[in-house]
A and B are shown apart, each in its own frame.
Chain A
Amino acid sequence: MQKLFALLYKDVLLLIRDRAGIALLFLMPLVLVFIMTSIQDNTFKSINESGISLLILDNDNDSLGLTIERELEKSNIFTISKEINHIKPTEATLKDAVASGIYQIGIIIPAEVTKKLKKNSKRNISRAFSGLPADTTNRIDTSQISVYIDPITKNSFKTTIFSTLREFTSKIENEIIIAEITKEINQRLPFNKVCLSSKNSITFKEEYALKENSRIIPNSVQHNVPAWTMFAMFFIVISLAGNMIKEREEGSVNSLLTMPCSYSTFITSKILIYILVCLLQLLLMLLMGVYFFPTLGLPALKIGVNFFAIFIIALSSSLAAIGYGVLIGTLSTTHQQAATFGSISVMILAAIGGVWVPVFAMPPFMRSISIISPLNWGLNGFYEVFIREGNTFSVLFDSFKLILFFTLCLLTSLLYKRLIRK
C-alpha cells in the first residue's frame, strides 16, 4: 500500500505541476460546454424565441396590418423593426436591407388591404343573405402581401413565416366575415341582438412526456452539460496517454520496473488519480450548469435527485475513459501519435455517440452505429438521471458496458506490455 501511496503522491505532483495539462483537463471542458451550450441555445432561440430579424412596412395601417404586426410580435419568434435607422423604409430600401442581410425577412403590407378585405366580405355576405351566389367576377379586389427573404435563411424559417402570415390573415379575414355576418343578422332581427364569436374552439396543449412528478424540461443545457462532460472525460486520454509516454521516454517507467513495484501498481495509481480528475470535471460542469448558466440567461441544469445514480454513471464513464487512455498510452510509441490518434478517435466516438448532434437527430444508419460508442453509453446514463429522472437500477446496464470497455482496454494494455517484455 505504501508503494501505491508513493505513486499516487508522484502522480498528483506530476499533474499539478503541468499547468497546460491542468488547463486542458479542467478549463477546456468548461469553455467548451459554455460555448456549445450558448451556441445551441441561441440556435434553439432563433427558432422558438426572439431571434429572426424582421422588417415590416405596414402601408395598410388598419386591422390586418396592425394584427399581423401584433401577432408576429406576440409569437416571440421575430425581432420586429419598422424603421431602418429611424426612417420608415420604402419598398426599395426594405428589399435592399433584406438582400444585404441586415434583416432576414421583410414584409410589405399593401395600402388599404383591410379596406378591400372588408369591402369584399361585405359584398359577399350581402349577396349571400340576399340569396345571390358568391361574386366570382374580377370585381373582387385582391391584395398581395410581399415577403422578402434573405437567401441564406433556412427553409424552416420560411415555412414558419408563411404559416404565421397565412394564419393571421385567415384569422383577420374570418373576424371581418364574422363581424359582417353579425351585422347582417342583427339588421334583420328586430330584438335580441346576436354576437357571433370568432374565438377558436380547439386549442393546443404542449407538454413533454416526462415521468410522473418529474419537473425537468429537456433543453440545450440538459443535453450539452452531460454530453460535453462525457467528451471532457474522454479527452483525458490525451493527458493520460501523454503522461504515460513521457514517463516511458524519460526512462522513469523502466526505472520503476526495476524496483519492487509492478506495472499494475503503476497503472492503478494512474487510474485512481484520473478517476479523481474525471469526477472533478463532472462536478465543475454540474456547478457551471446549475449555478453559472442561469446568470447568463441560459436555462439552469436540473440534475434530478438520484445522486448515487449520477455517481455510478460518472465513475463507470471515468473508468472507460481512463481504460481507453491507458490503452492508447501503451500502444502509442510517441506523444504525437497518442495526441493525434487520441484526439481524433475521441472526436469520432463523440460524434457517433451523440455528443455533437443528439442520436435521435441522426440518420437511421448513424443511429444504429451510435451504440458502439462508449460516449453514447455514458450519455444515455446521464440522460436517464438528468432528463428521465431514472434511478440507480436504470443506469446499471450502461455502467456495465462502460466497465466492460475499461476492463478490455486494461487487459489489452497489460497483455501488450507483457508481450513486449519478451
Chain B
Amino acid sequence: MNDQNIITISCLTKFYKGSDKPAVDDISLNIKQGEVFGLLGPNGAGKSTIINILCGLLTPTNGQVTIHNLILGKNNYKIKELIGVVPQDIALYPSLTAMENLIILGKIYGLKGKDLSNRIYELLTMFGLEKSKDRRISYFSGGMKRRMNLIAGIIHNPKILFLDEPTVGIDVQSKKVILDNLREINKLGTTIIYTSHLMEEVQKICTRIAFIDEGKIIAEGIPSELIKSDPAFFNLEDVYLKLTGKKLRD
C-alpha cells in the first residue's frame, strides 16, 4: 500500500436487496492524504452509496476498503473516530441550541471539559455563529444551518472529512465562509472527500476528482488536466456533460 494513500478502495461492489443491478460496480480507487477529492456524477450514479460504505453506514457486497491502514468492517469503531461526515441533510437536533448540539456531538467523540468548550468556541467563531450559540437550530437560517452542519462534522478535528453537497441551497456569503474554511481545514491536514453537483465549486476546491456513472468510475484526474484533455472543454461542466451525457437522470 502506498504510504500516501489514506483511503484504498479495491473492487468495491454493492447490490441493494432486491436489485440485480449494482449501485457500485467493482470500483477501485485510492485517495491520498491531504487531498480534496471530488466524487462527481449524476443522480443515482452511486456517489452516496460509496460515501455511506466508507462511513460504515452500509455493508459492501464485495470488495475491500482500507482507511488510514484500518480495514473497514473489522475496525469500524476506530475508523469512525478518524472520520467526520457532513451529510446533505441537516443532521442536527432542531429543538436543541447550537451549543447543546455541539456539546453532545463533542462528547460522543470523546472530547470533554475545557478542550470541548474551547473547540466549540473556536469553531463557532470561525463560522460566524458565536452570537447564536444559545439559539435553537430550528430558528437558524438555511446558511447558518449549513455552517452548523459543517461544524458538527469537524468538531473532533477528523483526519478524513466526507462532505455531501455542503453548500446546497445557501447564499453566496455562507458558501464563501464554508469553502474558505474547508481550505483552511485541508491545509491543517484533513483529507476531504467532496461530492457536489456544483462544478464551479468543485473546480475551485478539489485537487483531484473522479466521475462516477452507473456505479463505475468513468474518469479520474486533476480538474485542470481533465479540462485540458479536450480543446472543446472550457470548464469542468463540459467534461461532466461529455462523460455522463445530456440524458436526464432520475
Q: Which residues of A contact B (CB under 8 A)?
A: 2-3, 5-7, 9-10, 13-14, 17-18, 250-252, 254-262, 421-422
Contacts and interface: CB of A to CB of B under 8 A. Distances in A.
Interface in B149-178: 152, 162
A130 to B, nearest CB: 98
B104 A10 contact: yes
A245 to B, nearest CB: 14
Given A14-B95, A252-B92, A258-B85, 7 more contacts: A13-B95, A250-B93, A251-B90, A258-B57, A259-B105, A421-B58, A422-B59
Contacts of B201: none
Contact of A260 (B17, B81, B94, B100): B81
Contacts, number: 80
A258 B95 contact: no
A5 B107 contact: yes
A260 B80 contact: yes
From B17, B83, B95, residue with most partner A Cβ within 10 Å: B95
B56 interface: yes
Given A260-B109, A421-B59, A17 B95 contact: yes
22 contacts: A3-B108, A6-B105, A6-B108, A9-B103, A13-B93, A250-B90, A250-B92, A250-B94, A252-B91, A254-B91, A255-B85, A255-B91, A255-B152, A258-B57, A258-B162, A259-B108, A260-B81, A260-B110, A262-B77, A421-B57, A422-B17, A422-B58
B47 to A, nearest CB: 16
Contacts of B55: 258
From A2, A250, A260, residue with most partner B Cβ within 10 Å: A260
A330 to B, nearest CB: 16
Chain B contact-residue range equals 20 to 34
B80 A17 contact: no
B89 interface: yes
A14 B95 CA distance: 7
B91 A251 contact: yes
Given A251-B89, A255-B87, A261 B57 contact: no
A253 to B, nearest CB: 9
Contact of A10 (B94, B96, B109): B96
Given A9-B104, A258-B55, A260-B80, A17 B96 contact: yes
Nearest to B78: A260
Contacts of A258: 55-57, 80, 83, 85, 162
B57 A257 contact: yes
Interface of B: 17, 55-59, 77, 80-81, 83, 85, 87, 89-96, 100, 103-105, 107-110, 112, 152, 162
A335 to B, nearest CB: 15
Contact of A2 (B81, B95, B96, B110): B110
What are the 3 A-B residue pairs with the smallest beta carbon separation, nearest first?
Answer: A255-B91, A6-B107, A251-B91
Nearest to B101: A10
Nearest to A13: B96
Contact of B96 (A5, A14, A259, A421): A14
B112 A2 contact: yes
A9 B102 CA distance: 12
Contacts of B110: 2-3, 260
Contacts of B81: 260
A251 B56 CA distance: 15
Contacts of B105: 6, 259
B107 A18 contact: no
A355 to B, nearest CB: 32
B162 to A, nearest CB: 8
A251 B108 CA distance: 16
Contact of A259 (B80, B87, B92): B80
Contact of B104 (A7, A17, A18, A421): A7
Contacts of A257: 56-57
Nearest to B156: A259
Nearest to B83: A258
Nearest to B76: A260
A250 B93 CA distance: 8
A9 B95 CA distance: 13
